Structure 1
Amino acid sequence: MIGTRATACLTAALTLAAATACSTASGTAADDCPVAAQPAGGVPLPEGDLPGWKQIFTDDFDRCELGDSWGTYSGQPGGNPLGWWDESMVGVDGSVLELRSVRTDSGWVSGGVSNYPVTQTYGRWEIRMRADVSDDISYHMLLWPQSDQWPPEIDFAESVDGFRDEMSAFLHWRTSDGRDKHGVSTWGNFSDWHTVGVEWGPGIVRFLLDGEVWAEAHSDEMVPDVPMWLGMQTEGGSCERRVDWGLAPCAEESDLRADEVSVEIDWVAVYAPDFEVLEQMYYDGEFAPTESAIQFTDR
């Protein structure tokens, strides 16, 4: 697999002042949009700091418009000629952010959003999400460089698996003679709600699933050290790309070939590093390789 390069409409999103170039999706009228009393994903939005991490941004999408903390994607995904992004595929209904994908006569049209106003070097991100089963649609939760110069890229939750039984994480980095990448996978029912996330610090990236570290990289080469922001996106064309990747082709007739597919996001939480606390945690051994986690350096 390859990480997804989220280039369309993102150059204009590098600063908040340029946000008008990536317009936000409009919601329904307030009278038609009751705010949910309970979290759709069954787990409430976390509030407050964590050891070593200061909470700087949260969003539980308890309204009916996207808001100015987000920008929508438009145009063709970088590296994927089979998909197309349109702001109409992004919606907020008083409970969740929905990234829709619809099959049209000219191909798949999908949704994606960027949290570009919340850009930082190092931090912790968590997302409560679920994805409809689909052979045709992939999802990608990632950190993208503010400079728009790729790589690096941190993909902490993505899937091209139609049953949503498999979820992958990728790192993309620049080498002395070019570019390199590496990915690992975990298994579960990702058509149901889970909390996916990533912790990123100097020389370390830890991938999180429901609060537990499932994979990590301890590497100065693999781990970026430039400002990055969160992107959440869906893309069409997975069936066609499976052939390029040497995977089994999709069946023509299948319950996994629906014409409309959604990825739902209940909430997002972002944290900045408290380096003084993290340094003490490091010396206390709390960032030593996790015994149960997949190590990116074991290639």
Structure 2
Amino acid sequence: MGAHAAPVRRGRALWAPTVLLLLAVLLGVPRAEGAPVSADACRTTGTSLPRGDCGPFWQVLAEDFNGDRVPLGSFDDCAHEVDTSAAYCGGLSGAYRDNWWAYPKGWPDTAGERGREVVGVYHPEDTVSVGPAENGDGRMFIRMWRPTDGGPVHAAAVVPRAVMQMKYGKYSARIKVTALAPGYKSAWLHYGGGCEMDHPEGEWTDDLTAFHHPCGGGEQGYFPGADDWTEWHTVSTEWTPGEVRFFVDGRLVGHDTRQVPDRPLSWVLQNESALQGPAAAPGSSAQLDVTWVAAYAYDWK
């Protein structure tokens, strides 16, 4: 399994080659061997969990879920020190209790605020688990569902504790919707104090997008990223002073410099009932698989 990575500070000597390579990428200069170069700070070209520091970021969480089993029912009793870096789920143990929190059972999802006919309620205890996929790959499974007799969708929002209430950073994951049905969506976000950054966001039957809502209001930034949630994608957000950048599969899909948050915020992997289009049908379910998560603090040097 992954764990908190020890912070390692870099000397300034590493900045020059990093900056030069990043400039080459942004200017479209090919590498000598002709292989594509990712535009994100880690220059990730593969599909495996990146490890180690990169650019102005130092890694604080690297989780690939391999070798772990966290059965349904474990993400329970999560109403402890909510929305703080001390939050925890009493049903978890060991490293997962140290590293993960979830919105407690009974909290309403966003659809309730939007007047949707079908809304969701967070139920991490019966939606979130960790274990091997059929091919043996370790994953976090987020399976949302609606009871056969109707009622609210059982939704899930999980939170990596290592980056709760952190100012700036890099946030990456590799995800895929492995069971699709109308009425389910994701909005992985940082928000608070009138600020919000969402990536990835969208109904799972629609496009994968990113949004930036400037602090204090103003027109939202909208950045299409991919047209199919049912394919594997690596999604990354890089949040630095005065700028937020969004990446899909190493490709820069958008950035914004307007009223970017400058306060500590938590990274919430929020999954809930749809805000647009058809509602989830009674008895339906949909599932998102996460094969790795990596998070980084911002190096102020």
Runs of 4+ in 1 over 6 A off after TM superposition: none
Q: 1:134 aligns with which of 170, 177, 181?
A: 181
Structure 2: stretches of 5+ with no match in the other structure:
1-45, 71-91, 113-118, 133-137
Amino acid in structure 2 at the alignment position of 1:229:
S
Aligned CA distance change for structure 1 residues 153 and 252 (closer, same or farther; 3 Å): closer
Asked if the contact 1:72/1:90 (under 8 Å) is kept, the reply is: no
- Superposition RMSD in Å: 2.5
Paired with 1:71 and 1:271, the residues of 2 have a C-alpha distance of 18
Aligned counterpart, 2:16: none
Partner of 1:292: none
Q: Secondary structure at the match of 2:188?
A: strand
**Alpha-carbon distance in structure 2 between the residues aligned to 1:168 and 1:218:** 18
Report 1:1-299 matches (<5 A): 43-62=47-66, 63-65=68-70, 67-68=96-97, 69-73=99-103, 74-81=105-112, 82-87=119-124, 88-94=126-132, 95-104=138-147, 105=149, 106-119=151-164, 120-131=166-177, 132-144=179-191, 149-162=192-205, 164=206, 166-175=207-216, 181-219=220-258, 221=259, 223-236=260-273, 238=274, 241-242=275-276, 249-250=277-278, 259-276=284-301
Contact 2:109-2:121 at 8 Å conserved across structures: no
| Inter-partner Cα distance in structure 1 for 2:240 and 2:54 | 15
Alpha-carbon deviations, 1:27-67, whole Å to 9, x = none? xxxxxxxxxxxxxxx82111111122211111111211261
TM-score by length of 2: 0.64
C-alpha distance in 2, partners of 1:252/1:98?
A: 19
Instruction: Tell me how far apart the structure 1 counterparts of residues 63 and 272 of structure 2 sit (CA, whole Å).
Output: 23
Partners of 2:65 and 2:291 within 8 A in 1: yes
- Are the equivalent residues in 2 in contact too, given 1:168–1:183 (CA < 8 A)? yes
TM-score scaled by length of structure 1: 0.65
Q: Percent identity?
A: 27
Q: Would the alpha carbon gap of residues 77 and 251 (structure 1) be closer, same or farther in structure 2, given more than 3 Å must change? A: closer
Q: Deviations along 1:120-166, whole A, 9 cap, x unmatched? A: 2111111100123332101122224xxxx44222101011151x4x1
What is the deviation of 1:199? 0.4
Query: 2: CA distance between counterparts of 1:171 and 1:54?
Result: 24
Which blocks of at least 5 consecutive residues in structure 1 are unaligned?
1-41, 243-248, 277-299
**DSSP 3-state at the match of 1:228:** coil
The answer to whether the 8 Å contact 1:151/1:179 transfers is no
Structure 2 CA distance for aligned equivalents of residues 52 and 92 of structure 1: 31
1:265 Cα deviation from its structure 2 partner = 0.6
Moved more, 70-79 or 153-162: 70-79
Looking at structure 1, the residues matched to 172 and 128 of structure 2 have their Cα atoms a distance apart, in angstroms, of 20
